[in-house]
Amino acid sequence: MAHLSLTPTSKLISSGFVWLLWIVLGFSASHTHADTGLTVPQRVTLSPNWYTQELSISWLGGGATTFDLIILRTEFNETVFYETVSPTVNKVSGLHQWTWTSVNPLECTSLSVKIRSRDGHTTSEWSQTETLQGNDHPNSEQRVKVFPQDKVLPVGANITFCCILDEGMVLDKLKYDGNTTSVTRLSRRTYSTTVFNLVASRQSGSNMLCLPEDKEKLYGTVVFVGYPPLPIDFKCETHDLRSAVCQWGKGRDTHLYGSQRGTRYFVNNRDCSEVNQDVGQKEATCTFDTWEGNWTLVAKNLLGQYSLTDTAELSHRVCPVAPDLLSVVADAWNASLSWHWKYDSYSSLALVCQVEITATEDEKLIKRVFSGVGLRSVFLSDLYPDEHYSVKVRCGAQQNFWKWGNWSKLSSFKTKTYVPDTPDAWIWLNTDNTGKVVWKPLTRRQSHGKLTQYEVFLWSLEENRALAPAVTLPPNNWSMPVNLTEIAFFSNNGSVVAKVTARNNAGSSPPARVHLTSVEPLAAPRIVYTDQGFPLFWENNANATCGYVVEWLDAFCPQDCPVEWIKLPAGTTNVSIESATFQPGVRYNLSLYSCSSDARELLKRWQGYMQELVPSVALTLSASQQNADVLLTWKEIPLVNRRGFLLGYNIYNSTGYQFKLLENVSDPETMSYTAKDFAKGFIKGTFKFTVKAYTAAGENTGTTATVTIEPYTDWLILEILTSLGLVTLLLAIVTFTCYKKRKWVKKAFYPDIPEPKLPSDWPRTRGLLDVKPSPHSMVCVVETPEYDCIKDMLVAIPEEDEDDAGQGIGDESVDTDEPTSLRYYNQMVDERPIRPRFPDSSASSISSMSSAHTDVTYTGIQTSGSSLVLQLDPQGSSECHQPQLDRSVSSGGGGYRPQMQPRAPSDDMDLPSPESFLEPQAACSGGYKPQGSWQLDSPVDAAEMGSLAPSLGSPTSVASTQFLLPDGEENTGEKRQLSSSAASWLTNLLSSTKP
Per residue in 137-176, pLDDT (tens digit) is 877 776 889 999 999 999 999 999 999 998 888 888 999 9
For residues 673 and 635, membership in a common domain is answered with yes
Q: Give the Cα separation of 403 and 237 in Å (integer).
A: 10
| pLDDT score, position 470 | 87
- The verdict on residue 702 lying in a domain is yes
Which of 171, 165, 173 minimizes the C-alpha distance to 141?
Answer: 165
Instruction: State the chain's mean pLDDT as an integer.
Output: 76
Residue 629 has a pLDDT of: 82
Q: Which residues pair with 294 in a beta bridge?
A: 311
**Has residue 974 got a pLDDT over 60?**
no
Least confident of 148-162, 303-317, 751-765: 751-765
CATH number at residue 397: 2.60.40.10
Of 245-259, 573-587, 697-711, 726-740, the range with the lowest mean pLDDT is 697-711
Whole-number pLDDT of residue 981: 52
Residue 391 lies in a domain: yes
Same domain, yes or no, for 469 and 601?
Answer: yes
Q: How many Cα atoms are found within 13 Å in the side-chain-facing hemisphere of 966?
A: 19
Do 429 and 571 reside in the same domain of the chain?
A: yes
Q: Mark whether 244 and 260 lie in a shared domain.
A: yes
Find residue 210's DSSP bridge partners.
174, 219
Burial class (CB in 10 A: 0-12, 13-18, 19+), 229: buried
Question: Integer distance in angstroms from the first to the last C-alpha of the chain?
Answer: 141
pLDDT for the residue numbered 277: 67
Out of 96-105, 129-138, 792-801, 914-923, pick the least confident: 914-923
Same domain, 457 and 549: yes
Average pLDDT of span 380-408: 93
Lowest mean pLDDT across 764-773, 861-870, 984-993: 861-870
User: pLDDT band at residue 773, thresholds of 50, 70 and 90?
Assistant: low
Quote the pLDDT of residue 585. 92
Flag whether pLDDT at 428 surpasses 70: yes
Both 470 and 575 in one domain: the answer is yes
Residue type, 28: S
Whether residue 487 lies inside any domain: the answer is: yes
Over residues 464-470, mean pLDDT: 83
pLDDT of residue 761: 61
Residue 55: Cβ-neighbour burial (10 angstroms; 0-12, 13-18, 19+): buried
pLDDT of the residue at 234 = 93
Would the pLDDT of 362 be above 70?
A: yes
Count up the domains in the chain and report the number.
6
Pick the more confident residue, 365 or 798.
365
Range of the domain at 481: 425-609
Residue 954: CB partners within 8 Å, gap ≥ 6? 827, 858, 859, 860, 862, 934, 963, 964, 965
Handedness of CA 378, 384, 385, 391 (dihedral sign): negative
Of 375-379, 510-514, 559-563, 732-736, which range is least confident? Answer: 559-563
Say which residues have a Cβ less than 8 Å from residue 120's Cβ, sequence separation at least 6.
Answer: none
CA distances from 415 to 390, 411, 422, 509, 955 (A): 11, 14, 20, 19, 144
Neighbours of 882 (CB within 10 A): 23
Q: What is the pLDDT of residue 791?
A: 41
Which of 206, 226, 246 is the C-terminal boundary of a domain? Answer: 226
Instruction: Label residue 842 by pLDDT band (50, 70, 90).
Output: very low
Instruction: Give the pLDDT confidence score for residue 108 in this predicted structure.
Output: 92
Is 931 a domain residue? Answer: no
pLDDT surpasses 70 at 33: no
CA angle 875, 878, 884 (to 5 degrees): 80
For residue 930, being part of any structural domain is answered with no
Q: pLDDT value at position 991? A: 53
Q: Which residues pair with residue 957 across a beta bridge?
A: 856
Same domain, 548 and 589: yes
| Rounded Cα gap, residues 161 and 221, in angstroms | 9
Residue 11 confidence class, pLDDT cut points 50, 70, 90 = very low
State the sign of the Cα–Cα–Cα–Cα dihedral 207, 211, 215, 220: negative
In a domain, 858, yes or no: no
Whole-angstrom distance, CA of residue 820 vs CA of residue 902? 11
Q: Tell whether 754 is covered by a domain.
A: no
More confident residue, 619 or 28: 619
More confident residue, 137 or 532: 532
Tell me the mean pLDDT in the region 536-544. Answer: 90
Q: b vs e for 450-459, b when ≥16 Cβ sit within 10 Å of the residue's Cβ? A: ebeebbbbbb
> How far is 546 from 601, CA to CA, in rounded Å?
12
pLDDT of residue 877: 38
- Is residue 939 domain-resident? no
Are residues 575 and 455 part of one domain? yes
* Mean per-residue pLDDT, 631-653: 90
Q: Show the DSSP H helices in 436-535 as ranges.
A: 444-447, 484-490
Rg of the chain over all Cα atoms, to the nearest angstrom = 71
pLDDT at 731 over 50: yes
Residues 455 and 551 in one domain: yes
Lowest-pLDDT range, 196-200, 264-268, 471-475, 956-960?
Answer: 956-960
**pLDDT value for 561:** 82
3-state DSSP helix/strand/coil % of the chain, to nearest 5: 15, 35, 50
Among 268, 288, 316, give the residue marking a domain's end: 316
Are residues 401 and 368 both part of a single domain?
yes
Give the CA distances from residue 14 to residues 7, 9, 130, 522, 943, in Å, rounded to whole numbers and listed in that order.
11, 9, 21, 114, 130
Q: Please write down the HEC assignment for all residues of 102-166.
A: CCCCCCCCCEEEEEEEEECCEECCCCCCEEECCCCCCCCCCCCEEECCCEEEECCCCEEEEEECC
Higher-confidence residue of 346 and 901: namely: 346
Please report the pLDDT score of residue 934 as a whole number.
Answer: 42
Residues 986 and 658: their CA atoms lie apart, in Å, by 61
Instruction: Give mean pLDDT, residues 890-903.
Output: 41
Kindly report the number of other CB atoms within 10 A of residue 625's CB atom: 17
For residues 188 and 252, membership in a common domain is answered with no
- Whole-structure pTM value: 0.51
Name the domain boundary from 713, 740, 759: 713
Same domain assignment for residues 443 and 592: yes
State residue 847's pLDDT score: 37
